[in-house]
Amino acid sequence: MTTPTPDTATTGTGDSGQVAVRVRGLIKKFATLDATITAADDIDLDIPAGSITAVTGASGSGKSTLLHLIGALDAPDAGTIEVFGTTVSQLHGRALADYRGSIGFVFQRFNLLPTLTVLDNVTAAALPRHRRRADTKERAHDLLAAVGLNGREHTLATRLSGGQQQRVAIARALINEPRLLLADEPTGNLDSTTGTGIVELLFDLREQRGTTILFATHDPTLARRADRTISIKDGQLQGRE
């Protein structure tokens, strides 16, 4: 069997050719009552630091699985994932919790705390070591301004529109200053104009902060805006478009 060539394309916007995420031989299977599904099927992948990558594929192809494995929300059956040089699959206990906290995660359903204000939703996500910092509130204000929510800090999060709630979720994901932001269909619950605005916001954030961003999307128009697109079919990487 030949070893598949990892997807190693670099972009004009990567910070210095550094690899942010290196995936090798990644396998994840789910056993159901009547079958075993291979949701990640021997995936090899390199994501350049500072790039924005769209992950596309039909429903059930394995996009969420890949993001969850990279974010250590789930564990692989085989293979390795390195994120900025840390081998994620070897982390346990405190180190694993710290790693999860160091990654920004944005979900399709914004998952905001409904009884908290916009500002409190963002500060509540700060890791203890960040929360102790006197500037946590100030950083939350700055992030909310960066996502276009200046003046809405004291509104209850659920009073906002879907697009605004997703902006809060993005600010929340950035409070611990992650170098990697994983976004699982961040525009899935939004109309196409609002969804385009969210992707433009991701570009602005990358410009300002150099954050490496990986987002899953069903929408080919949004995917084309990314620096690069990877496509998954039945858990297998189809190559870069």
Minimum distance from CB of 31 to ligand ATP (Å)? 7
Minimum distance from CB of 42 to ligand ATP (Å)? 15
Minimum distance from CB of 61 to ligand ATP (Å)? 4
* Closer residue to ligand ATP (CB): 51 or 56: 56
Minimum distance from CB of 227 to ligand ATP (Å)? 21
| HEC-encoded secondary structure of the chain | CCCCCCECCCCCCCCCCCEEEEEEEEEEEEECCCCEEEEEEEEEEEEECCCEEEEECCCCCCHHHHHHHHCCCCCCCEEEEEECCEEHHHCCHHHHHHHHHHCEEECCCCCCCCCCEHHHHHHHCCCHHHHCCCCHHHHHHHHHHHCCCCCCCCCEHHHCCHHHHHHHHHHHHHCCCCCEEEEECCCCCCCHHHHHHHHHHHHHHHHHHCCEEEEECCCHHHHHHCCEEEEEECCEEEEEC
- Binding letters toward ligand ATP, positions 9-48, x by CB under 6 A: ---------------------x-x----x-x---------
* Closer residue to ligand ATP (CB): 3 or 59: 59
* Closer residue to ligand ATP (CB): 65 or 212: 65
Question: From the list 62, 76, 104, 186, which residue makes contact with ligand ATP (rule: CB under 6 A)?
Answer: 62
Minimum distance from CB of 62 to ligand ATP (Å)? 4
Rule CB under 6 A: which residues touch ligand ATP? 30, 32, 37, 39, 57, 59-65
